[in-house]
Amino acid sequence: MTILVTGSAGFIGANFVLDWLAQSDEPVVSLDKLTYAGNRQNLASLECDPRHCFVHGDIGDTALVAELLAGHQPRAVLNFAAESHVDRSIDGPEDFIQTNIVGTFRLLEAVKAYWQTLASADGEAFRFLHVSTDEVYGSLSPSDAAFTESTAYQPNSPYSASKAASDHLVRAYFHTYGLPVLTTNCSNNYGPYHFPEKLIPLVIHNALAGQPLPVYGDGQQIRDWLYVTDHCSAIRRVLAAGRLGETYNVGGCNEKSNLDVVRSICDLLDELQPRQSCAPVGASNLTDGPASSYRSLIRFVKDRPGHDRRYAIDASKLARELGWEPAQTFESGIRQTVRWYLDNQDWVTHITSGAYRDWMSKHYS
Ligand code: NAD
Ligand code: TYD
């Protein structure tokens, strides 16, 4: 048996493949376009592993996907591939439409054609698992109940709109063609191999470099943070036992404001790697600790257009039906994350060149 994982050189896909092969000998075929967010280094430990085969390619390349499916005969396809950064989707939505909508559509077409060739027992056992986000549900006010699987879709950014479209296509392939699909909608992830233009790795990276820590608007936007390996265990559980055609919300019950997240990282760094130099980085617009603390690097900057105020996930369906629960609290997960970045500065140096620097100077200048 084999599984095909798309987007496996990105943050969550790489964690998923590494985790999968740490717990199972079932081979993995990886398909990734290696965009700016995809990094083969994330899978370096699998280079000589006969259970893993990496293919550089696009989920929208129907001929390539058909060839991979026919050649490897996977029993499941897990779709992590996507353009995933909200700020980039605001700056240029085109790639999001191409990969998240057109790419998912073409992948579904190729998978449907393959699935229709399978013998009946194999066809019944086959699964297409689509990895999606809580951002499709839109934004909550402080008193609203958390998103459930029946919350209406109200995506607000080009990123979340493109993911919502892909979720609808996946749903339609189940209802129209009977393709055995499963969808997961997860809250914000953090952990090892997170590309440092997203909030948590960016703050760790900038802090260690003595650079300002940019907090959008008033920093009171709320996200529900989940440690990435807990997301991976939820996906494994849904793949193994999820009901066909169903969607499952995945979340950590860890609602935090962005400012609190940034302060937690500063406090951990103060403990684990105290500042060497307290050189000022421009006038602070926040009085939040002495110059010797990383908190003194926090700066409020211009807000993101259309910035969603609050996300919160009700993951009780997954707990009730499939017995899943997260293993990490925010406190344990963020400590492991900060330690991982401190211990893997070579990875950070490798990834923060070229396209990364171009984006940072364009976005924050
Ligand atoms: P990421 O941006 O780190 O990685 C995406 C990967 O997909 C990269 O390796 C990239 O090269 C690859 N890719 C992009 N376009 C492709 C294409 N056309 N064909 C093949 N590969 C392509 O993203 P991530 O944070 O790992 O997110 C993975 C999935 O999980 C996405 O679908 C995202 O919407 C979803 N998700 C992410 C989060 C989060 O907090 N990061 C939360 C919930 C859901
Ligand atoms: P991000 O990591 O981009 O994830 P998402 O937009 O998918 O939730 O951002 C998380 C939150 O942090 C979001 O509310 C935007 C905010 N943010 C900042 O305040 N400063 C930053 O430099 C970045 C990248 C994000």
DSSP 303-348: PPTT---B--B--HHHHHHH----S--HHHHHHHHHHHHHHTHHHH
Residue pair 16/51 in contact by the 8 Å Cβ criterion: no
**CA 196 / ligand 1 centre spacing (Å):** 14
**CA 62 / ligand 2 centre spacing (Å):** 33
Quick check: is 281 in a domain? no
- State the Cα–Cα distance between residues 156 and 149, nearest whole angstrom: 18
Residue 214 in contact with ligand 1 by CB distance below 6 A: no
Spell out the per-residue pLDDT of the chain, length 365, in tens.
999 999 999 999 999 999 999 999 999 999 999 999 999 999 999 999 999 999 999 999 999 999 999 999 999 999 999 999 999 999 999 999 999 999 999 999 999 999 999 999 999 999 999 999 999 999 999 999 999 999 999 999 999 999 999 999 999 999 999 999 999 999 999 999 999 999 999 999 999 999 999 999 999 999 999 999 999 999 999 999 999 999 999 999 999 999 999 999 999 999 999 998 777 777 777 767 788 999 999 999 999 999 999 999 999 999 999 999 999 999 999 999 999 999 999 999 999 988 899 999 999 98
Residue 186 in contact with ligand 1 by CB distance below 6 A: yes
- State the Cα–Cα distance between residues 232 and 193, nearest whole angstrom: 14
SS3 231: helix
Quick check: is 217 in a domain? no
Could you give the number of structural domains in the chain? 1
Quick check: is 104 in a domain? yes
Which residues constitute the domain of residue 93? 3-188+227-253+312-327
Choose one of 5, 55, 80 to mutate for the ligand 1 pocket test, by most ligand atoms within 8 angstroms of C-beta.
80
CA-proximal residue: ligand 2, atom 21 (nearest): 199
Q: Which atom of ligand 2 is nearest to the CA of 159?
A: 7
Residue 231 in contact with ligand 2 by CB distance below 6 A: no
Maximum distance among all alpha carbons in the chain? Answer: 68
Residue 32 in contact with ligand 1 by CB distance below 6 A: yes
Quick check: is 288 in a domain? no
Residue 326 in contact with ligand 1 by CB distance below 6 A: no
Q: What are the residue numbers of the active site?
A: 134-135, 159
Residue 223 in contact with ligand 1 by CB distance below 6 A: no
pLDDT at 81: 99
Q: Which atom of ligand 1 is nearest to the CA of 15?
A: 26
Query: Could you give the angle at which helices 258-272 and 199-208 cross, rounded to 10 degrees?
Result: 40
Quick check: is 363 in a domain? no
Choose one of 147, 156, 198, 202 to mutate for the ligand 2 pocket test, by most ligand atoms within 8 angstroms of C-beta.
198
Quick check: is 208 in a domain? no
Domain CATH number, residue 91:
3.40.50.720
**Amino acid, res. 321:** E
Quick check: is 318 in a domain? yes
CA-proximal residue: ligand 2, atom 4 (nearest): 198
- State the Cα–Cα distance between residues 256 and 329, nearest whole angstrom: 12
- State the Cα–Cα distance between residues 198 and 177, nearest whole angstrom: 37
Residue 196 in contact with ligand 1 by CB distance below 6 A: no
**CA 153 / ligand 2 centre spacing (Å):** 21
Task: Read off the tokens for 227.
Answer: 């440690």
Tell me the β-bridge partners of 277: none
Choose one of 84, 193, 199, 347 to mutate for the ligand 1 pocket test, by most ligand atoms within 8 angstroms of C-beta.
84
User: Residue 113 burial by CB count (10 A; 0-12/13-18/19+): exposed, middle or buried?
Assistant: middle
- Give the CA-trace dihedral at 79, 83, 85, 86, to 10 degrees: -100
Quick check: is 209 in a domain? no
Residue 7 in contact with ligand 1 by CB distance below 6 A: yes
Is the pTM for the entire model greater than 0.85?
A: yes
Nearest ligand to the CA of 300 is: 2
